[in-house]
Chain A
Amino acid sequence: MRLKLKFLKEPLLHFVLLGAMLFLLFFYVNDDPFPEDEKNIVVNNSTLSLLIETFERTWMRPPTSVEMKGLIDNYVKEEIYYREGLALGLDKNDLVIRRRIHQKLEFLNTDLVETFPPKEAELKAYLANNPEKYRKEETITFHQIYINVSKNGNDPWEKARKLLTQMRNRTLSEQELKQYGDSSMLPEFIKDESLSGIVRLFGEEFADEIIRAPLGVWSGPYTSTYGLHLVYLSEKKPAQTLSLEEVSDAVERDFNNDRRRDLNNKLYQALRKRYSVTTEDSVKSSTGIL
């Protein structure tokens, strides 16, 4: 019994009933809600070709006659629902429709960006104003020997330092290096890697230290989240600013993206001027908006 009462309190039920009542009322008051011509759905050649074209774009072949009939039936059905729905005002305050229309308007607006491609001088200026966006990061090349803390007794640090002294006085081939230290999935040789790349492989703590390691000599031990490392830093390539020729695609993309944002802001500012907004007092007091 209680369950049934609860069901009657369901807001959705109220909504549906209210909608049905409005619908009936609508028909009572106005037994022909649409002008005559709006009750006629025209299927002409251009409708047909649009339906066929749309079908072909998905299915990559023309529809069969059975499918064609289905497409037309669907079109008629959709059109009827669309018209009836609009007549009922179902498009009003529909979040999906509202936001879609907002988006369509912005698309229309920003298509102009593609219509008027940027001039080279504009791209040059953009690059000059944003050099850090297109800079080639500093990179380093190094070998590392890994000391697994859990496999090296009570004082892995001491072991690492001893190994370092051994390493310092000789030049070793990559093959020879492999007999030192513990095996691991961590790469032993890293070539031309950026700081952010080293962060991704070894973590930030290690990357911050290794970038300042002395060049051309074994050093360490350095700590990472994995354990201890001895490092031979063999090469450092400084950061580089790039020319427009080298990064023109990226510059054009970013330039256009900025133009799009700018266009949409301007559109909104222009449209906003056509409206006044009245904030009711009760809203002001409850939200603190002045």
Chain B
Amino acid sequence: MFNRSNKFLVVMLVCVGVFSLTSSLFAQNTGSTDAGTRLSETRSKTFNKNVNSSFDKNSYPIRPLFGDQHLHTSWSFDAAAGGTQLTPEEAFRFARGEEVTSSTGQLAQLSRPLDWLAVTDHSDAMGIITDIIAGKPELMRDPVLQEWYRMINDDLEAAREALVELVRSQPGREDLPYALTDPDYLMDIWQRYTTIAESYNDPGRFTTLIGYEWTPNVSGTDHLHRNIIYRDGKQIADQVTPMTTFDTKNPEDLWRWMEAWTKKTGGKILAIPHNGNLSHGRMFSLKTFENKELTVAWASDRAKWEPLYEVTQTKGTSEQHPALAPNDEFAQFEIWDRDYSTQTPKKLEIIKNEYAREAYKNGLILESKLGVNPFKFGLVGSTDAHTGLTGGEENNFFGAFVNTEPKAERWRDEKSGFTGTLTKGWELGASGITGVWATKNTRTSIWDAMKRKEVYGTTGPRIILRFFGGFRFSPEDAHSHNLAKVGYKKGVPMGGDLASAPQGKSPAFLTAALKDPLSGNLDRIQIVKGWADKNGKTHEKIYDVVWGGADKRSVESDGKLTPVGNTVNAKEATWSNTIGAPELITVWSDPDFDPTLRAFYYARVIEIPTPRWTTYDAVRFGVRMSDEIPVSIQERAYSSPIWYTPKS
């Protein structure tokens, strides 16, 4: 079973390991000293160490917890093939604010720590490797290893001599490395990962959520990808091996697996679909996976297991396509709408089933037919970075794959030398992040907020966004010194439901946004409304409800608010907060409300224009890029909706 050189290598491994463990382990200088350039100039010098925030003691959430539930490391096969070297360990360290060295040898640090992170490597990679790694307790059962260990404890030098002798004299021994390779002594990479996640989970300060990505590419390239997020820790997560696409590519099977998982472990999990924009019309298809009519059971399962949807990430936004919303002047934003394999334009019929807002509208129709709305999901943002480095910061963007880590020519390189698509580096977005309205920075508190959809996604900035709906709000509530208290008392938060409007009342929405201290001022808050009329047709309308520089701007005759302007200096990659406002708060009541019709409402916050990551690159590396690349962007936050359902 072993040839001589195999054997030598294994013995060598053990030797190196044992000697290293027992010598010079007190080395203080463990960090890399490689010279490198840090990208962010605004990073904070410290990260939150051993301090529990005071907000933990409140009954309702005081500030949102920012994090990313979609990040890959070298433990994902495609990331490794692309050259990623960072492991989940480094991913967690980076997210909690530490400086790490990227796969291309550059020093990387976030401008400020995240509150939580889920590392979600592809389960397929784990599936392949599941049965190859030797376990630890089993190691010690090997008599030879025990003997080594004993010798080393006795006398290091003698042990070294003995080992060298052992290796030299007994190359033919079959019992030596057996414990390292026998398939009966196997351990899962999944359990390695959960061990790391467990070791960085620090309730109250930094939460690590356990998760993985199930990545079916149906018909070659149709993305039906889902991230599975765990509420519990290692003990429960280790009980079952993650689902892979070797097991199934059908999301309905995934839901069955989740059901069985829940029964077996007593834990809780949820799935977050993403990249509907690359699903070739299948993400929000109005047929089942096998092209059959949707059923009540299908709708219930989808609503139950998939309460969230990823609306923005490096590979484009999936809120709404401009062709489906000609009146939405902000829809043309980081759109990836070419066919994934051929890079040719897609038909409108396909695009219709790829974007969240259309799904929300179709969900209302489905609910009237089936009694269940399968597309009643909240919104989150993520990076989907394959570098082990989360972030989503324009001036500190570490790319999607290793080949788009910072370098002068990355804007015109292919997205990933691995997938072989024709997408150019500049098309990647430095996006996004999720804000979670959780009362505590713990796994259960964050997961529970996700499950009740009290979350929102942004394209990167840490905008704070509140959104409450109800029938009792009055305009003065916008001036309250305790917005949250009023919001929870008089209404429901984002992700909630309103039903049966009181006679003559319209729903009103208390909505407030505070700028990211490190990013641009706010241009406006919009409320996006969608509804289904009596004939089963759907509609949408966007209301500008509050904006910065209110004395100089108004809604003009064409129904559009005066644009906020643009202060971006492309030559220096700077902007100034002389336009817009640091904070926007209002109470808005729906002027077109019909209590008999199903509707949904969500808030969209738009920042003033700031430099796009490519503009920072152009200045930093002194390169001239092609004119098709936007110089500035208006970053944004999307709340989860509040749904209105009339009494049947």
Chain A complexes with chain B: yes
Interface string of A50-88 (1 = CB under 8 A from B): 100010011111000000000000000000000000000
Tell me whether A193 and B53 are in contact (CB under 8 A): yes
Interface string of A90-129 (1 = CB under 8 A from B): 0000011001100111011111111110100010011001
A150 CB contacts on chain B under 8 angstroms:
581
B48 CB contacts on chain A under 8 angstroms:
137, 194, 196-197
A136 CB contacts on chain B under 8 angstroms:
49-51
Tell me whether B16 and A54 are in contact (CB under 8 A): no
Contact of A196 among B24, B47, B89 (CB under 8 A): B47
Tell me whether A267 and B13 are in contact (CB under 8 A): yes
Contact of B17 among A118, A255, A263 (CB under 8 A): A263
- Interface assignment of B241: CB less than 8 Å from any CB of chain A: yes
Expressed in whole angstroms, the Cα–Cα distance for A267 and B247 within the complex equals 36
B199 CB contacts on chain A under 8 angstroms:
249, 253
B135 CB contacts on chain A under 8 angstroms:
111
B22 CB contacts on chain A under 8 angstroms:
116
Tell me whether A96 and B112 are in contact (CB under 8 A): no
B242 CB contacts on chain A under 8 angstroms:
58
- Interface assignment of B518: CB less than 8 Å from any CB of chain A: yes
- Interface assignment of A216: CB less than 8 Å from any CB of chain B: no
Closest CB of chain B to A263's CB: distance in Å? 5
- Interface assignment of B583: CB less than 8 Å from any CB of chain A: yes
Tell me whether B582 and A111 are in contact (CB under 8 A): no
Tell me whether A60 and B28 are in contact (CB under 8 A): no
Expressed in whole angstroms, the Cα–Cα distance for A118 and B180 within the complex equals 21
Expressed in whole angstroms, the Cα–Cα distance for A271 and B12 within the complex equals 8
Tell me whether A99 and B51 are in contact (CB under 8 A): no
Closest CB of chain A to B513's CB: distance in Å? 8
Expressed in whole angstroms, the Cα–Cα distance for A89 and B22 within the complex equals 41
- Interface assignment of B218: CB less than 8 Å from any CB of chain A: no
Which of B278-286, B291-299, B349-357, B477-485 forms contacts with chain A? Answer: B477-485
Expressed in whole angstroms, the Cα–Cα distance for A263 and B13 within the complex equals 9
Closest CB of chain A to B618's CB: distance in Å? 25
**Which residues of B in the span 218-266 have a Cβ within 8 Å of any Cβ on A?**
240-244, 247, 257, 260-261, 263-264
Contact of A185 among B53, B263, B483 (CB under 8 A): B483
Tell me whether B21 and A259 are in contact (CB under 8 A): yes
Q: A100-B77, A112-B14 are in contact. Are A58 and B243 (CB under 8 A)?
A: yes
Interface string of A237-277 (1 = CB under 8 A from B): 00000100001011001010111011100110011000000
B136 CB contacts on chain A under 8 angstroms:
111, 114-115
- Interface assignment of A286: CB less than 8 Å from any CB of chain B: no
Tell me whether B20 and A95 are in contact (CB under 8 A): no
Interface string of B70-91 (1 = CB under 8 A from A): 0000110100110000000100
- Interface assignment of B59: CB less than 8 Å from any CB of chain A: no
**Which residues of B in the span 457-502 have a Cβ within 8 Å of any Cβ on A?**
462, 464, 466, 479-483
Expressed in whole angstroms, the Cα–Cα distance for A113 and B75 within the complex equals 19
Most buried by B among A54, A58, A135, A187: A58
Residue of A nearest to B10 (CB): A108
Expressed in whole angstroms, the Cα–Cα distance for A261 and B93 within the complex equals 15
Residue of A nearest to B584 (CB): A185
Expressed in whole angstroms, the Cα–Cα distance for A148 and B584 within the complex equals 11
Q: A122-B26, A226-B583 are in contact. Are A99 and B16 (CB under 8 A)?
A: no
Residue of A nearest to B85 (CB): A99
Most buried by B among A183, A185, A193, A257: A185
Tell me whether A99 and B80 are in contact (CB under 8 A): yes
Tell me whether A199 and B112 are in contact (CB under 8 A): yes
Tell me whether B81 and A107 are in contact (CB under 8 A): no
Expressed in whole angstroms, the Cα–Cα distance for A159 and B7 within the complex equals 80
Expressed in whole angstroms, the Cα–Cα distance for A108 and B145 within the complex equals 14
Q: A111-B139, A203-B517 are in contact. Are A185 and B464 (CB under 8 A)?
A: yes
Q: A203-B518, A259-B20 are in contact. Are A227 and B582 (CB under 8 A)?
A: yes
Contact of B16 among A107, A109, A114, A200 (CB under 8 A): A109
Residue of A nearest to B52 (CB): A192
Which of B124-132, B323-331, B379-387, B426-434 forms contacts with chain A? Answer: B124-132
Contact of A96 among B18, B54, B80 (CB under 8 A): B80
B260 CB contacts on chain A under 8 angstroms:
59-61
Tell me whether B25 and A137 are in contact (CB under 8 A): no
Task: Count residues of A near B (Cβ-Cβ below 8 Å).
Answer: 80
Closest CB of chain B to A96's CB: distance in Å? 5
Expressed in whole angstroms, the Cα–Cα distance for A186 and B62 within the complex equals 10
- Interface assignment of A225: CB less than 8 Å from any CB of chain B: yes
Tell me whether A185 and B512 are in contact (CB under 8 A): yes
Tell me whether A112 and B21 are in contact (CB under 8 A): yes
Tell me whether B77 and A58 are in contact (CB under 8 A): no
B483 CB contacts on chain A under 8 angstroms:
183, 185
Tell me whether A196 and B16 are in contact (CB under 8 A): no
A107 CB contacts on chain B under 8 angstroms:
133, 189, 192
Tell me whether A225 and B517 are in contact (CB under 8 A): yes
Q: A57-B240, A60-B264, A108-B134 are in contact. Are A137 and B17 (CB under 8 A)?
A: no
Tell me whether B257 and A109 are in contact (CB under 8 A): no
Closest CB of chain A to B479's CB: distance in Å? 5
- Interface assignment of A191: CB less than 8 Å from any CB of chain B: yes
Interface string of A171-190 (1 = CB under 8 A from B): 00000001000011111101
Tell me whether A103 and B30 are in contact (CB under 8 A): no
Expressed in whole angstroms, the Cα–Cα distance for A271 and B20 within the complex equals 14
Expressed in whole angstroms, the Cα–Cα distance for A156 and B25 within the complex equals 59
- Interface assignment of B619: CB less than 8 Å from any CB of chain A: no
Expressed in whole angstroms, the Cα–Cα distance for A134 and B55 within the complex equals 22
Expressed in whole angstroms, the Cα–Cα distance for A261 and B133 within the complex equals 18
Tell me whether B26 and A129 are in contact (CB under 8 A): yes
A135 CB contacts on chain B under 8 angstroms:
49-50
A137 CB contacts on chain B under 8 angstroms:
46, 48-51
Tell me whether A194 and B49 are in contact (CB under 8 A): yes
- Interface assignment of A21: CB less than 8 Å from any CB of chain B: no
Expressed in whole angstroms, the Cα–Cα distance for A80 and B575 within the complex equals 61
Closest CB of chain A to B19's CB: distance in Å? 8
B80 CB contacts on chain A under 8 angstroms:
96, 99-100, 103
Closest CB of chain B to A212's CB: distance in Å? 15
Expressed in whole angstroms, the Cα–Cα distance for A107 and B133 within the complex equals 7
Most buried by B among A190, A203, A206: A203
Closest CB of chain B to A268's CB: distance in Å? 9
Expressed in whole angstroms, the Cα–Cα distance for A226 and B180 within the complex equals 59
- Interface assignment of B515: CB less than 8 Å from any CB of chain A: yes
Tell me whether B51 and A193 are in contact (CB under 8 A): yes
**Which residues of B in the span 64-122 have a Cβ within 8 Å of any Cβ on A?**
74-75, 77, 80-81, 89, 97, 112-113
18 residue pairs bridging A and B, Cβ less than 8 Å apart: A57-B241, A99-B74, A100-B77, A100-B80, A108-B10, A108-B134, A113-B17, A130-B28, A134-B50, A137-B51, A196-B48, A197-B51, A201-B63, A204-B518, A249-B199, A253-B199, A259-B21, A270-B16
Given contacts A96-B80, A112-B139, A129-B28, 14 further A-B contacts (CB under 8 A): A60-B261, A95-B418, A100-B129, A103-B74, A108-B134, A109-B13, A112-B18, A185-B512, A185-B583, A188-B481, A193-B53, A195-B46, A257-B89, A262-B30
Interface residues of A (CB under 8 A from B): 50, 54, 57-61, 95-96, 99-100, 103-105, 107-116, 118, 122, 125-126, 129-130, 134-137, 139, 148, 150, 178, 183-188, 190-197, 199-204, 206-207, 224-227, 242, 247, 249-250, 253, 255, 257-259, 261-263, 266-267, 270-271
* Those 8 A-B pairs whose CB atoms lie nearest each other, nearest first: A203-B517, A112-B17, A191-B54, A57-B241, A129-B28, A136-B50, A253-B199, A194-B51
Interface residues of B (CB under 8 A from A): 9-10, 12-22, 24-28, 30, 42, 44, 46-55, 62-63, 74-75, 77, 80-81, 89, 97, 112-113, 128-136, 139-140, 145, 149, 180, 183, 189, 192, 199-200, 202, 240-244, 247, 257, 260-261, 263-264, 418, 462, 464, 466, 479-483, 512, 514-515, 517-518, 577, 581-583, 585
